[in-house]
Amino acid sequence: MNKIAGIRQLGVTLTAHNTQITVWAPQAKSVVLHTYAPDSKVPLTAQAYGYWYAESNRLQAGQQYRIAIDENEYPDPVSRSQPEGVHGPSAMVDLQFDWTDEDYQPPSLRDLIIYELHVGTFTPNGDFEGVIERLPYLKALGINAIEIMPVAQFPGERNWGYDGVFSFAVQHSYGGAKYLQKLVDACHREDIAVILDVVYNHFGPEGNYLPAYGPYFTDKYQTPWGQAVNYDDAWNNGVRDFVLANVYMWLSDFHIDGLRLDAVHAIKDFSPRHILQEIREVTNKVIQQSGKSHFLIAECDLNDRRYLEPLEKNGLGMDAQWLDEFHHSLRVAAGEKRNGYYSEFEGVKHLTKAYQEAYVFDGGFSPHRQKFFGTSAADLPDHQFIVFSQNHDQIGNRMLGERSSMLYSPEIQRLMATAVMISSYTPMLFMGEEWASKKPFLYFVDHSDPNLIQAVREGRRREFADFHDEGEVPDPQAQDTFDQSILDWNEKEGGPHRDMLAYYRALISLRKNHPLLQQRDRKQFQIVCYPHQHTIFITILHETSRLLCILNFSSSDQTFSLDDETTWQKIWDSNDEKWGGCSSTNNNFLQVINVGKRSGTIFERAG
């Protein structure tokens, strides 16, 4: 049975000489691959550890097929293509591609400016070609990495991607495998890295034929999606091989630069070697083979530094994680109501701590969770944390999918962007944020099972039962819910939107090019919080140079006195008239400074 770099090849693999077929079905009595046009059957032979294997020289790319498990036919769980959707036959795909990115090397994590996007709503095309057309725009904006929400085949043509059920098949309506490869190659030509969102904590409900093949799930644990994926129960070897082969495929066959692993806290694995550690090992093998960097970014809400520590310390080996607590603190500082998980965040006080130590809850008592929570991240490198003022979750999980542009004034939006970009952490934007798009990003699905559709509708209504005064919950199944979420690219030509876009371009350029903002080390940040004035002072030090960044979240101008004799010169003002603001901040000051309301200003030591 064929392996590459110790990774088991699964499914149908086309080579120059023959086709290799590997199926994991440990409880089956017979396994047969059934092809159509021409109609033929290829019986597989039982191997060790629940695998079945065959080779054939009669198969070719494009052929459709199903796999018969004890004479019952199903799509291939390791299918590379589902041209007729999740219930249709699988199709064979040759993943060979004429790459032109041999000399491309992604930036380091500390230098990334990440842009999160959803392929289906990023452009009216709703596919990979639409993204390719916008790459020059993203490069001009200053973006050097895109993070793509999941593209594994999901039911229908409208979905966030987290209902994927064919982890190896690229969503057919987006363009399939070849167009994803084409997108990655085009990104690399523009010096833009590609991060792909992958989901290993659960699989979607519709079109999920995994249980027909083997024990992919276990009753040992329950998750928000039901049974847990079987990483440590009987016959877990096939499930772990499945995930590791998937990681290898994205990094090798698609040249993906990084993976964003969804909700790793929901992965239940008490094996001596956690599945994340094995994912790290596979990624390291690809790095050794290719000589190129690849990184792993986790979504994790545990504030557990072990996820970020290296394998040598028995850590789980993730390169970075989304820092939700920075987002929550920032939003409360900006005026977000302290409901739900926002209830325990104290605005500028906790934002200051996030700047200083990353985790806000690092062992103290969490009122929302009603327990002592978290570990200290004080000595972990800054590039291990991804920060943002909004993302797909924080927008789409609101009842009406409101972006910051619908919740906050332009002054607050510019201030929040400044707060993100001056941090020592790695910044991320959500598509359309840069021009303050007014389009919502709603939750949408395209299921075919009436019972499942109704269950999703009722689940959303229950989730927002206390928000009746805001109107009806949008129907996730409705075409209009999806259509409302598609970005309107003409929007950015309008006056206020044009000003915001100019602001983001200049702010990103400032972060990338100013020597002190390139330091990216919070140990060189001196941070003072003025809670009564809702203001944070951040002084960035390097040798004899200094920057003073002042974030005033209050609705009033503030006056501050400094003790030193330094003369400061203003180099940035989020309320400058050229962005549509009305600045009331000194251009230069010695010891007394007036700071405009809802502003982010940056001063450099003169002389």
Q: Which residues are catalytic?
A: 262, 299
262 is in an annotated binding site: yes
Residue 265 among known ligand-binding residues: yes
Is 542 marked as binding a ligand? no
User: Is the C-alpha dihedral spanning 399, 403, 409, 411 positive or negative?
Assistant: positive
73 annotated ligand-binding residue: no
Q: Is 360 annotated as a binding residue?
A: no
486 is in an annotated binding site: no
Does 384 show up as a binding residue in the annotation?
Answer: no
Count the Cβ atoms, other than its own, within 10 Å of residue 397. Answer: 13
| Residue 455, annotated as binding a ligand | no
**Is residue 253 part of an annotated ligand binding site?**
no
**Cβ contact 566:592 at 8 Å:** no
Cβ within 8 Å of residue 63, ≥6 positions away = 35, 36, 37, 91, 92
274 marked as part of a ligand binding site: no
261 is in an annotated binding site: yes
Q: Which amino acid does the sequence have at 256? A: I
* Inter-residue contact 434 to 391 (CB < 8 Å): no
Ligand-binding site membership of 102 (annotated): no
Annotated binding residue 397 = yes
- The answer to whether 327 is annotated as binding is yes
Query: Taking a C-beta distance cutoff of 8 angstroms, is the pair 128, 148 a contact?
Result: no
- Of 85, 19, 23, the residue nearest 210 (C-alpha): 23
- 396 annotated as a binding-site residue: yes
Q: Is 264 among the annotated ligand-binding positions?
A: yes
* Sequence letter at residue 146: I
Closest by Cα among 555, 588, 559 to 573? 588
* Residues whose CB falls within 8 Å of the CB of residue 470, separated by 6 or more in sequence, listed in order: 399, 400, 464
Give me the residue label for tokens 């998937």.
246
Say if residue 465 is exposed, middle or buried (CB neighbours under 10 Å; 0-12, 13-18, 19+).
exposed
Q: Which of 77, 99, 267, 265 is nearest to 194 (CA)?
A: 99
Known binding-site positions:
260-265, 324-328, 392-397
Known binding-site positions for substrate:
260-265, 324-328, 392-397
